Amino acid sequence: MHRFIVVGGGAGGLELATRLGDRYGETRAKRGRPTASVTLVDRNPTHIWKPLLHEVAAGSMDPFTQELEYAAQARWHGFEFQQGELVGIDRAARRITLGVVNDEDGAELLPERVLDYDTLVLAIGSTTHFFGVPGAAENSIALDTVGQAERFRKKLIAACMRAEHQAPEPVTRDHEGKEEPRVQVAIVGAGATGVELSAELRNTAQVLSAYGLHKLDPSHDVGIVLIESGPRILPALPERVSSATTELLEKLGVRILSGERVTEVAPGVVRTASGKAVRADLTVWAAGIKAPQILSELDGLTVNRLGQLIVRRTLQTELDDNVFALGDCAACEWPGNERGVPPRAQAAHQEASFLFRSMGMRLEGRPLPEFTYRDFGSLVSLGHFSAVGNLMGGLIGGSMLIEGLFARFMYMSLYRLHIAALHGYARMVLDTVAHWLRRTTLPRVKLH
Ligand SMILES: Cc1cc2nc3c(=O)[nH]c(=O)nc-3n(C[C@H](O)[C@H](O)[C@H](O)COP(=O)(O)OP(=O)(O)OC[C@H]3O[C@@H](n4cnc5c(N)ncnc54)[C@H](O)[C@@H]3O)c2cc1C
């Protein structure tokens, strides 16, 4: 039997393993003999869709209600799950090594293991890029994992509670002479993640106050400042999306500092190249991504300057026909576009669907097709009732700006499509209804 191994059960990898397991593995629905073995490897036991992490950080999403157990998904969809971190590849022997897994107390839970493959798909995503800015890694929080998002949320609540009970300090003023808020969150990087977080946090400050967790005035005492080195926010999106978003953020009271390159993050302060010192009780770093370090250390596979594996348009790595890569960890050409395929959930999803089809051809020994990314536009969520974005489509022959509730609905449907890819449409509908019902008995923001 052909042995597929998918490493990384994120937006792309989990969809691919699920579909391969459904097609080739042994499932309860289809009792016939499996025609290939499919193994998914992830360092964590559970999956959460990464674009939800800013909502987790703001407390508007409880991660424990959205997590999916890999072991259960494997049982339902005919694949095997192995928990462990990829630490090495022996390409000649077609073998990967997974590191030891320890429990919370540091005791060994699973030993180092070796797994053999015929086809290996690497889908291990990306991590935050601090660009070597002094103090950034030590003094700011990144949003790569549920643990980091939860840590930020708890620190924010603690900062608000502390500020309420501390004797008011003499009023401090920012570089423009404006009175500074009692608690200030600085977000470095005004790409989609930074922008979405800033809007979500506005809502959080209000809800925390409504539930009595602090008695600060949420719009006056809790400040959010978004710092961007480029001339405008959302630099990767069309200018009109950026200006519509700027207007909405300003209405929400988010302060935007564009054209300000951060040169240092120290405890309590973010410094910029123009000499500004922005007071920050909490700093979030959302200024860029790079691929995990391990990819640069693997048995001769080639990487670009961000450490992403360079893949051909078949998504095979440059040097090895048996090793594929998808999602944020892969650098794939996008014909007609200077940049490669962007690091987005949309791209990871398309690549997973593409690889699912091309794996069938590989098993039949047919030549592999080439991947072409189709940009359907980008949507940026601005809290509970709004989103902004551009929809691109063959139908309208260009790009269309969308805003408000409709945009929000489209944004939410992206996650619903991911759920449908994992569980099918019937379960996605049930999950959506269950989610709405659950929300009626929960506060709008996680309080502890
Ligand atoms: C806060 C936030 C908001 C975002 N919002 C959007 C959005 O609105 N729209 C959009 O299109 N994109 C968005 N993105 C980007 C999107 O999340 C990524 O592009 C997408 O998740 C990439 O999918 P992936 O499968 O490549 O990797 P991921 O989804 O990151 O999955 C990688 C998986 O690999 C596992 N892993 C990592 N290293 C190892 C290892 N060594 N061994 C084993 N397993 C490993 C991880 O545990 C994880 O499960 C957002 C990202 C963030 C952080």
* CATH number of the domain that residue 186 is part of: 3.50.50.60
pLDDT attached to residue 448 = 64
* C-alpha span between 374 and 341 (Å, rounded): 9
pLDDT attached to residue 174 = 66
- Mutating to test ligand 1, I would choose from 44, 124, 353 the residue with most ligand atoms within 8 A of its C-beta, which is 124
Domain annotation covers residue 370: no
Domain annotation covers residue 369: no
* 274 CA to centre of ligand 1 in angstroms: 33
Which atom, in ligand 1's list, is nearest to the CA of 381?
Answer: 8
Domain annotation covers residue 397: yes
Query: Residues 175, 277: one domain?
Result: yes
Q: What's this model's pTM, rounded to 2 decimal places?
A: 0.92
Ligand 1 pocket, residue 58 CB under 6 Å: no
- The residue nearest atom 27 of ligand 1, judged by CA position, is 125
Domain annotation covers residue 448: no
Which atom, in ligand 1's list, is nearest to the CA of 9?
Answer: 49
Query: Residues 268, 296: one domain?
Result: no
Query: Residues 116, 197: one domain?
Result: no
* C-alpha span between 332 and 413 (Å, rounded): 26
Query: Residues 278, 354: one domain?
Result: no
Q: Report CA torsion sign: 136, 238, 411, 250.
A: positive
Average pLDDT score over the chain = 89
Reference 189, options 181, 200, 180, 198; nearest CA is: 198
Query: Residues 216, 153: one domain?
Result: yes
Query: Residues 120, 228: one domain?
Result: no
pLDDT attached to residue 274 = 94
* C-alpha span between 62 and 431 (Å, rounded): 15
Ligand 1 pocket, residue 50 CB under 6 Å: yes
Q: Which domain holds residue 175?
A: 136-285
pLDDT attached to residue 205 = 77
- Which residue, 226, 258, 285, sits at the end of a domain? 285
* C-alpha span between 296 and 303 (Å, rounded): 6
* C-alpha span between 319 and 312 (Å, rounded): 10
- Mutating to test ligand 1, I would choose from 49, 50, 55, 412 the residue with most ligand atoms within 8 A of its C-beta, which is 50
Query: Residues 143, 274: one domain?
Result: yes
* 342 CA to centre of ligand 1 in angstroms: 12
316-326 residue pLDDT tens: 999 999 999 99
Query: Residues 231, 301: one domain?
Result: no
pLDDT attached to residue 435 = 83
pLDDT attached to residue 397 = 54
143-167 residue pLDDT tens: 999 999 999 999 998 888 888 777 5
Residue ranges for the chain with pLDDT beneath 70: 27-32, 167-177, 211, 213-214, 385, 392-399, 442-448
Ligand 1 pocket, residue 350 CB under 6 Å: no
Domain count, the chain: 3
Which atom, in ligand 1's list, is nearest to the CA of 346?
Answer: 11
Ligand 1 pocket, residue 315 CB under 6 Å: no
Domain annotation covers residue 336: yes
Which atom, in ligand 1's list, is nearest to the CA of 126?
Answer: 30
Ligand 1 pocket, residue 143 CB under 6 Å: yes
Which atom, in ligand 1's list, is nearest to the CA of 14?
Answer: 25
pLDDT attached to residue 395 = 46
* C-alpha span between 213 and 217 (Å, rounded): 12
Which atom, in ligand 1's list, is nearest to the CA of 352?
Answer: 25
- The residue nearest atom 19 of ligand 1, judged by CA position, is 344
Ligand 1 pocket, residue 355 CB under 6 Å: no
